[in-house]
Structure 1
Amino acid sequence: MILAGFFTREEFNRTVLSAFPIPDRPTLANYKSLVTGTVTAAVTKYMGNTILRTVYSTLFAVLTSFLAGFVFSRLKFKGRGALFLVLLATQTIPLTIAIIPTYLEFARFPWAGGNDIFVGGTGILNTWWVYLIGGPAMNIMGMFLVKQSLEKVPIELDEAAKMDGAGTLRLMFQILFPLQLPVVAYIAITTALGTWNDFITPFFYTSSDDLLTLPGAIARLSSISSGAGGTINYPLIITLGLGNTIPAVLIFFFFQRYIVQGLANSGVKG
């Protein structure tokens, strides 16, 4: 991928690629496009959208996963076990099955995009609400890990905190939350990686160039990057793909120990 980025469109199309392709006339145009963008690919805008969406979804997933894990580990209510099993069962549903129902849900979202009880409209399709409402979700695996980890924290700690005057929120975020940092780190890293690489949401539920993330833009470049000769600019697509891959690789490389630590923290008694 690195070497392919030095090819021009024309030379790439007439070259039989090997494991280490070397262009006859190297160019930095594709790497400049990765930094500054092109007429057909506003890379800086796509990268900004990707970063904003990733940060928002990660914070949302961490918060909801911790709250749900706390509820299922500490609170007693009727149907708790059944509800927990239902949430776990959702993980067996392939993502592709939900694409069409999700699209219809967004399109029929009430009181948005012209929708009311009499006239249909576009709902929240092709708006930032796709990312704000439909994008983030509770990390079910994270919820499970938080629940398992909290169940290993003695309930006496909660009782001692309450005797000292701590309310529920203080107990949750000042006492229990710091104990779950390895699990929280796992949730944050896996959610960030999944959101960063997600192309389905922007590709299927948005059409505006202002809402595209980098993975969604790369998926569309096969049709919008064709030149006058009708050839696809594969070197540009490969270079943008490389730019999308590097941050994810760096995140995993530097934080992989937290992934292992988070899993171990929830599965090993201390």
Structure 2
Amino acid sequence: MSATTVSSKAIRASKKKDKKVKEKFTLGEGVCMLVTAVLFCIVAFPVFYAFLQSFRTYAEITIDPMGMPTVWHWENYVRLFQDTDFLGATFNTLFITVISLAILIIILPMAAYGVERIGGKASGFLYLLFLSGLMIPFQVRMIPLVRMFNAIGIYGDLWAVILVHLGGAAGFGILLYCSFLKGVPVSLEEAASLDGAGRLRIFWQIVFPMLMPVTSAFVITNALSFWNDFFIPLVMLDASSAGTINVAINRMVGLLTSQWELIYAGAIISLIPSLIIFAAFQRYFIKGMAVGAVKG
């Protein structure tokens, strides 16, 4: 058998193998696309439904809940702010989200740096102490927190919600930052220390800039969580407060009648910031989570 014959058979076998691999890949790709399309429809349908219903009247919604708007009532969005304290609820939600994130961004990276670099023999204990917060759900801490906040006079205040958010996010933040810091070379800090830089200067000028990818992922995740939170503000804010967006929407649901057109309008408005945040910072979120996973 000549070398040419063997070579041609090998080429044909290689082509058949490549064709099978390509067919398998195409089939798998098709299945993935189908599953993605189904999941997209499941997630998008409630949003699309709420958007359409927000332009209908109360009578139209109650008579035909699945109907389409015959006349687009844009005044529903105006009534939402005129007839309810939705503007105050929006401000409260924005205040809670921004202040909580600002405090977390300042404190958590420094705390993780202290645990990972300065903690010494106590670093393991401190790490587990922070992570223990992840194991205790808010429902378990709820009654003691309400009693404590009521005793010190901040129950019903926005700062009560902020403090609960800080405690709830600390464990995940320490886990994320410590995992990332394990992959940051210590040699850079040692070189800066030899040049006379102190701990704070080393952290803010050398370490913190390297933490930006994981910080982006942490900020986006918690921004969406704080903005969309319902249960914590419901428990920590009293009825005299405007509440947050989701609490304000919940108050529109009555025992006998509900302002469905305003509820749907409020739901759509509450979605807009979340969509903008994720659309604008999606690549930073994915990059940060990927880098954090690799470093960990």
| TM range, smaller chain | 0.7 to 0.9
- Mapping 1:16-35, distance limit 5 Å: 16-17=65-66, 21-34=67-80
Distance in 1 (CA, whole Å) between partners of 2:162 and 2:138 is 19
Deviation string for 1:147-171 (max 9, x for gaps)? 1212211111111111112111111
Matched, 1:38 2:82: yes
Do the aligned residues in 2 keep the contact of 1:186 with 1:258 (CA within 8 Å)? Answer: yes
Q: Which amino acid aligns with 2:151?
A: R
Do the aligned residues in 2 keep the contact of 1:61 with 1:191 (CA within 8 Å)? Answer: no
Distance in 2 (CA, whole Å) between partners of 1:135 and 1:264 is 25
Q: Which amino acid aligns with 1:221?
A: M
Matched, 1:262 2:293: no
Which one of 68, 71, 74 corresponds to residue 117 of structure 2?
A: 74
- Mapping 1:129-140, distance limit 5 Å: 129-137=159-167, 138-140=169-171
- Mapping 1:149-228, distance limit 5 Å: 149-223=180-254
Distance in 2 (CA, whole Å) between partners of 1:4 and 1:89 is 44
- Mapping 1:52-71, distance limit 5 Å: 52-71=95-114
Do the aligned residues in 2 keep the contact of 1:57 with 1:191 (CA within 8 Å)? Answer: no
Do the aligned residues in 2 keep the contact of 1:203 with 1:219 (CA within 8 Å)? Answer: no
Distance in 2 (CA, whole Å) between partners of 1:162 and 1:79 is 23
Matched, 1:127 2:170: no
Hey, what does 1:234 align to over in structure 2?
Answer: 260
Distance in 2 (CA, whole Å) between partners of 1:13 and 1:238 is 13
More helix by share: 2
Distance in 1 (CA, whole Å) between partners of 2:194 and 2:130 is 34
Hey, what does 1:7 align to over in structure 2?
Answer: 56
Do the aligned residues in 2 keep the contact of 1:139 with 1:191 (CA within 8 Å)? Answer: no
Distance in 2 (CA, whole Å) between partners of 1:78 and 1:269 is 22
Distance in 2 (CA, whole Å) between partners of 1:189 and 1:269 is 19
Q: How many residues align?
A: 246
Q: TM-score, normalised by structure 1?
A: 0.83
State the superposition RMSD in angstroms. Answer: 2.1
Do the aligned residues in 2 keep the contact of 1:6 with 1:26 (CA within 8 Å)? Answer: yes
- Structure 1 residues 211 and 68: alpha-carbon distance in aligned structure 2, compared to 1, 3 A threshold: farther
Distance in 2 (CA, whole Å) between partners of 1:165 and 1:211 is 52
2:229 partner SS: coil
- Structure 1 residues 244 and 269: alpha-carbon distance in aligned structure 2, compared to 1, 3 A threshold: closer
Distance in 2 (CA, whole Å) between partners of 1:221 and 1:195 is 21
Q: Could you tell me how far 1:15 is from its partner in structure 2?
A: 1.0
- Structure 1 residues 269 and 241: alpha-carbon distance in aligned structure 2, compared to 1, 3 A threshold: closer
Q: Which amino acid aligns with 2:147?
A: L
Q: Could you tell me how far 1:54 is from its partner in structure 2?
A: 0.8
Q: Could you tell me how far 1:261 is from its partner in structure 2?
A: 1.4
2:119 partner SS: coil
Distance in 2 (CA, whole Å) between partners of 1:163 and 1:194 is 42
Do the aligned residues in 1 keep the contact of 2:215 with 2:288 (CA within 8 Å)? Answer: yes
Distance in 2 (CA, whole Å) between partners of 1:64 and 1:238 is 38
1:170 partner SS: helix
2:196 partner SS: coil
Q: Could you tell me how far 1:11 is from its partner in structure 2?
A: 1.6
- Structure 1 residues 70 and 262: alpha-carbon distance in aligned structure 2, compared to 1, 3 A threshold: same
Q: Could you tell me how far 1:179 is from its partner in structure 2?
A: 0.5
Q: Which amino acid aligns with 1:24?
A: T
Q: Which amino acid aligns with 2:159?
A: W
Hey, what does 2:145 align to over in structure 1?
Answer: 102
Do the aligned residues in 1 keep the contact of 2:56 with 2:73 (CA within 8 Å)? Answer: yes
Gaps of 5+ in 1: 110-122
